[in-house]
Structure 1
Amino acid sequence: MRSMLSAAVLALLAGSAQAGTFNDLATPGAQLTGLSRNGRVAGLYGVDTGWRWAKDIGVSTIADFAEARGMNPWGQALAGGTLDDDGNQVAALAYSNSDLVGGPSVIGPWPGGLAQDGFLSAAFDASENGVAVGLAVDETGTYFAFRWSAAEGMTKLPVNRPQSSSRANKVSADGNTIVGWNDQDNGFRSGVIWRNGTALDLADANGVPVGEATAVSADGRIVVGERYFNTTTLKFEAWRWTEETGVQALGCLTTDFGCDATSARALSDDGNVIVGDSVSGGVYVATAWTPEGGMQLLADYLAAHDVEVPAGWTLQSGNGISADGKTIGGWGASSGSKNSFVADMHEAPPTEAIVEVHGTVEWNDLPEGPFAGIEVGTPVSMTFRATTVDAAEIEPGRHTGYPIVLDSFQLDAGGATDSLVPTAAGPLLRISNDYPMSDGIHVFETAMATQGQTMEFELFGAGSGPYAGGLFDSDDLDRINRTFGAEFFDKISWVISQQGGSFGMFMALDSVSIHDDVPNDDAIFADGFEQP
């Protein structure tokens, strides 16, 4: 990989998102079904087709993949289906680099499943650690909710009415909380939460079942859904649930559009921004809900945050939202056809990010310099800032080199310190995303202030396994905001070398953190955004 990068010409300046942008995805007939944590990747559902949108790349069709219905938090993988040899749809996961990995990864049907109108199974969502959930048909022709992992295969999720249909719609980031529905005997749907192999049917304070659970927060604490019958308003309303509050109706719209029912489709990590839709007389309009503003038109909510919906657009549903609630995706009507959008409400991004690395010495035979004699097991830390100013893109959204702010760099081991020196191209912090098959964090071999010594910091992120391609949803430095442990990487090389590598101090990685440098702000999303 290094030879590929070294041979590339670093010519293009890295771009950054502007405040108040509305992205028309220009995909007639497609509906956006999910948005990644940082809002840089979207999945789109179309008839017999799956699309993937990436902020720096645009829309691409995923070959041999149908009906992209959801995705893991970092946009790798998309959840949906593909066709088997008999032309029946079966559950599958697809990656942005699926051509390199042999196409979609097939989950398949339930053994002996009886196809219903060409359908055997479909994945509706995927977790960060490789758990997929969705809908399948068993040997009796009954639809059921499933959970799948590479280690365990497809298993039926238990329900309180196994004779009735069920479906799993979404899964938390860690795969431990799954939400969906199970039909009641009268045909109405009950929202269900699955935790630790147990199904919890959701009901209001009076014990009346609520409708379908459509989404869950990344940490599994908050669930939202639709079709809760409010006996006060006599409307079917969107709802929000936590263990502390129980089911809360989110209301209908008090506008000229009227309101027969509202639905919640997606929520921010803290559950304080919920997007969905409202329907009246068969006409849909996109909605947003906040604790302060209640239920409102999504177009009004965007306008209040300096995003103008272009003329000719009618927003009909909000279907995806970033972790911080500042990027919203959905679909509507544009130029006489169904189309999808992504609206970004972020202010101009910071120009610097802070990188913090922690580890321990695992081998050291350096004969000289500040680290000579540092013992095995000594804690090591490395901190520096990287800037987006004069950053160099090799491939938009996939690999960019960000200049390291030299006077911010310090590597410390046992109280001894050293720094880097200027190079012709930096030095650079390189962020690679799906390039070509994995994510990575790199500081290629760079001269240190101690003459004759160099440092290399190379992390290749999960080209296979449960975190495949799932470290970032783009290579945008100002949107990473995450801490990684060693388990996220297939290859780790953190070493200070001398005399062509004859001597060195090798360091084991404990964690690496990249987060925005935002004054007076917790840039790592204190409410559970970091990895533990």
Structure 2
Amino acid sequence: MQMHHALFATVVLAASTCANAGELFLLGLVPQAYAESTSDNGLVVAGHDPQSYWYWTRETGVVQLIGTTVSPGNGVGGQGSISADGRFMSVSSLQGDAQKAEGTIYDIDLALFQPIGSYGFHCDIERCSIWGMTRDAQSAVGLIDQGPCDAIAFKWSAATNAFTNLGTLYFFKPSRANAVSNDGATIAGWNDDYSGYRQGAVWIRNAAGVYVQTNITAPPPSGTVPIKMREAGVVSGNGQWVYGIGRTGYAGGGAWRWSPATGVQPVGTNPTTDIGYVVGANFDGTRVLCFYGVMGSAGSFMWTPKRGYVSLATIAAEAGVVIPAGWALSLPLGMSEDGLTIVGTAFGPNGTSPFVLDLRAGGGPCPADLNADATVGAQDLAILLSAWGSLGGSADLNGDGLVGAQDLAVLLSAWGACP
């Protein structure tokens, strides 16, 4: 296995006037390179580029897994997911006598690959691919060939090292699992219908341990034909909500969510008239990461029930992060469960770069000194109150992701000269 560190040159940007600002890492001008998933603390990020899967930390920079991993594209699927503790990531690697791509769990600490196996069939150069993983890396979901070029959704369990075939509701048509809840009980994906349309699908484990599939539809605005929703790609950590890609004809094409109790709902009021794509949600679905338009051409946003859609540019500014002139965090692809680290691909004047946006305060000896004058006082109080209700940022002193009463208590307890 070749592990390369020097492909990307990381640039770090933060507000120079605030020691406690968040940080933006631009990992390098590499075409078609995507940061896709992050650990809970935001310190380990998984992604891929045309050469290989890779992971990133502040200490190592980008470490490419060249020679063993096979990047998505040219007949290979999958995406890089990383465990909550940052130790395990999903990749594809070449396996078997006839070398074909199979979903694999990579142990970063031990530099070990664990292929999850296959049914022995393939299409093109792939037997199976991992599209989602539980936060403890004990379950993976994706697509597997159950016969020659006969793809079906699966769930794999580390405990049994066995696959659960999730099936299809359209006979002889493929399905794929894209995402899974923390406990593995709720799985989201798609099922091709007889016209080839990728309809959103969800599989929910019942009391008998059997996964029951529902293909997602919305009530028609007029007439009697339900609206087939587009593919689902995100599940909240607690499994309550499934999210998918907007479609023309439902709620102006905006992002949507679904639960067994509510059916399909729009995710708030659309910020644009373009199609919405949900790419991440926190544990209870109170923070939803998305972009609008193809490749984020109409903007990237975080949605919360309290604030609605807020652009990533605004969120970065609230955390004291300076985005370089001409750059936009257009294509977010994942976030930590607390929503304080966001990863994806940024677009700039000379190309694209994977990015890591860390909204956590940088810390230091006096985090409540928001204006960096070595004293916690009235000016800091004014800054905190002006940020009340904001998502993260330097005024989020207790790191719970929202500026509120607990942060006020932290500031008041630190009143006076900094140590």
**Would you call these one fold, judging by a TM-score over 0.5?**
yes
Superposition pairs of residues 149-228 of structure 1, within 5 angstroms? 149-150=157-158, 151-196=160-205, 197-206=211-220, 207-228=226-247
Deviation at 1:38, TM superposition (A): 2.3
Deviation at 1:292, TM superposition (A): 3.6
Q: Is contact 2:21–2:361 with CA below 8 Å preserved after alignment?
A: yes
Tell me the secondary structure at the aligned position of residue 65 of structure 1: coil
Which range is displaced more, 288-297 or 87-96? 288-297
Structure number having the greater strand percentage? 1
1:336 is aligned to: 350
Larger relative contact order (Cα-Cα within 8 Å, sequence gap ≥ 6): 2
1:364 is aligned to: none
CA 1:19–1:268 in 2, change beyond 3 Å: closer, same or farther? farther
Q: Is contact 1:287–1:317 with CA below 8 Å preserved after alignment?
A: no
Q: For residues 73-110 of structure 1, give each alpha carbon's deviation from its aligned partner in whole angstroms, at most 9, with x where no partner exists.
A: 333321121012433211111121343xxx31111322
Superposition pairs of residues 125-164 of structure 1, within 5 angstroms? 125-127=132-134, 128=136, 130-150=138-158, 151-164=160-173
CA 1:277–1:80 in 2, change beyond 3 Å: closer, same or farther? same
Report the Cα distance in structure 1 between the residues aligned to 2:117 and 2:345, rounded to whole angstroms.
Answer: 29
Deviation at 1:265, TM superposition (A): 0.5
CA 1:163–1:48 in 2, change beyond 3 Å: closer, same or farther? farther
CA 1:69–1:214 in 2, change beyond 3 Å: closer, same or farther? same
Tell me the secondary structure at the aligned position of residue 157 of structure 1: strand
Q: Is contact 2:116–2:161 with CA below 8 Å preserved after alignment?
A: no
1:6 is aligned to: none
1:74 to 85, 92, 103: 85
Instruction: Report the residue type matching 1:276 in the other structure.
Output: C
Tell me the secondary structure at the aligned position of residue 170 of structure 2: coil
Deviation at 1:148, TM superposition (A): 0.9
Which structure's CA Rg is the greater one? 1
CA 1:276–1:232 in 2, change beyond 3 Å: closer, same or farther? closer
Instruction: Report the residue type matching 2:140 in the other structure.
Output: A
Deviation at 1:325, TM superposition (A): 1.5
Superposition pairs of residues 84-123 of structure 1, within 5 angstroms? 84=95, 85-99=97-111, 103-111=112-120, 113=121, 115-123=122-130
Report the Cα distance in structure 1 between the residues aligned to 2:234 and 2:304, rounded to whole angstroms.
Answer: 16
CA 1:49–1:220 in 2, change beyond 3 Å: closer, same or farther? same
Deviation at 1:270, TM superposition (A): 2.9
Which range is displaced more, 124-133 or 290-299? 290-299
CA 1:135–1:311 in 2, change beyond 3 Å: closer, same or farther? same
Residue 237 in structure 1 maps to residue 244 in structure 2:
no
Deviation at 1:130, TM superposition (A): 1.0
Q: For residues 458-492 of structure 1, give each alpha carbon's deviation from its aligned partner in whole angstroms, at most 9, with x where no partner exists.
A: xxxxxxxxxxxxxxxxxxxx999xxxxxxxxxxxx
Tell me the secondary structure at the aligned position of residue 302 of structure 1: helix
Q: Is contact 1:329–1:342 with CA below 8 Å preserved after alignment?
A: yes
Residue 38 in structure 1 maps to residue 17 in structure 2:
no
Q: Is contact 1:252–1:261 with CA below 8 Å preserved after alignment?
A: no
Deviation at 1:335, TM superposition (A): 5.6
Report the Cα distance in structure 2 between the residues aligned to 1:23 and 1:86, rounded to whole angstroms.
Answer: 40
Deviation at 1:307, TM superposition (A): 2.6
For this pair of structures, how many residues does the alignment match? 334
CA 1:74–1:190 in 2, change beyond 3 Å: closer, same or farther? farther
Deviation at 1:153, TM superposition (A): 1.4
Q: Is contact 1:31–1:338 with CA below 8 Å preserved after alignment?
A: no
2:21 is aligned to: 19
CA 1:153–1:479 in 2, change beyond 3 Å: closer, same or farther? farther
Q: Is contact 2:80–2:90 with CA below 8 Å preserved after alignment?
A: yes
Instruction: Report the residue type matching 1:268 in the other structure.
Output: N
Instruction: Report the residue type matching 2:24 in the other structure.
Output: F
Q: Is contact 1:226–1:239 with CA below 8 Å preserved after alignment?
A: yes
Instruction: Report the residue type matching 1:19 in the other structure.
Output: A
Instruction: Report the residue type matching 2:87 in the other structure.
Output: Q
Deviation at 1:347, TM superposition (A): 3.0
2:374 is aligned to: none
1:253 to 271, 280, 292: 271
1:288 to 283, 296, 302: 302
Q: For residues 133-158 of structure 1, give each alpha carbon's deviation from its aligned partner in whole angstroms, at most 9, with x where no partner exists.
A: 11122214122111112314123113
Q: Is contact 2:360–2:399 with CA below 8 Å preserved after alignment?
A: no
Report the Cα distance in structure 1 between the residues aligned to 2:357 and 2:173, rounded to whole angstroms.
Answer: 39
CA 1:297–1:215 in 2, change beyond 3 Å: closer, same or farther? same
Report the Cα distance in structure 2 between the residues aligned to 1:282 and 1:53, rounded to whole angstroms.
Answer: 23
Structure 2: segments with no counterpart, 5+ residues: 1-18, 72-78, 206-210, 221-225, 367-397, 401-405, 411-419
Report the Cα distance in structure 2 between the residues aligned to 1:134 and 1:293, rounded to whole angstroms.
Answer: 34
Q: For residues 355-398 of structure 1, give each alpha carbon's deviation from its aligned partner in whole angstroms, at most 9, with x where no partner exists.
A: xxxxxxxxxxxxxxxxxxxxxxxxxxxxxxxxxxxxxxxxxxxx
Report the Cα distance in structure 1 between the residues aligned to 2:266 and 2:142, rounded to whole angstroms.
Answer: 26
Tell me the secondary structure at the aligned position of residue 47 of structure 2: strand
Which range is displaced more, 195-204 or 54-63? 54-63
Q: Is contact 1:34–1:320 with CA below 8 Å preserved after alignment?
A: yes
Q: Is contact 1:65–1:104 with CA below 8 Å preserved after alignment?
A: no
Report the Cα distance in structure 1 between the residues aligned to 2:408 and 2:296, rounded to whole angstroms.
Answer: 47
Deviation at 1:129, TM superposition (A): 5.3
Tell me the secondary structure at the aligned position of residue 87 of structure 2: coil
Report the Cα distance in structure 1 between the residues aligned to 2:137 and 2:37, rounded to whole angstroms.
Answer: 18
Deviation at 1:169, TM superposition (A): 0.8
Q: For residues 233-292 of structure 1, give each alpha carbon's deviation from its aligned partner in whole angstroms, at most 9, with x where no partner exists.
A: 3xx3211223443322235433xxxx4311001112232222222216994643332324
Deviation at 1:348, TM superposition (A): 4.6
Report the Cα distance in structure 1 between the residues aligned to 2:399 and 2:192, rounded to whole angstroms.
Answer: 40
2:341 is aligned to: 327
CA 1:217–1:282 in 2, change beyond 3 Å: closer, same or farther? closer
CA 1:306–1:77 in 2, change beyond 3 Å: closer, same or farther? same
Tell me the secondary structure at the aligned position of residue 315 of structure 2: helix
Instruction: Report the residue type matching 1:218 in the other structure.
Output: G
Q: Is contact 1:26–1:339 with CA below 8 Å preserved after alignment?
A: yes
Report the Cα distance in structure 2 between the residues aligned to 1:172 and 1:282, rounded to whole angstroms.
Answer: 25
Which range is displaced more, 22-31 or 63-72? 63-72
Report the Cα distance in structure 2 between the residues aligned to 1:325 and 1:282, rounded to whole angstroms.
Answer: 19
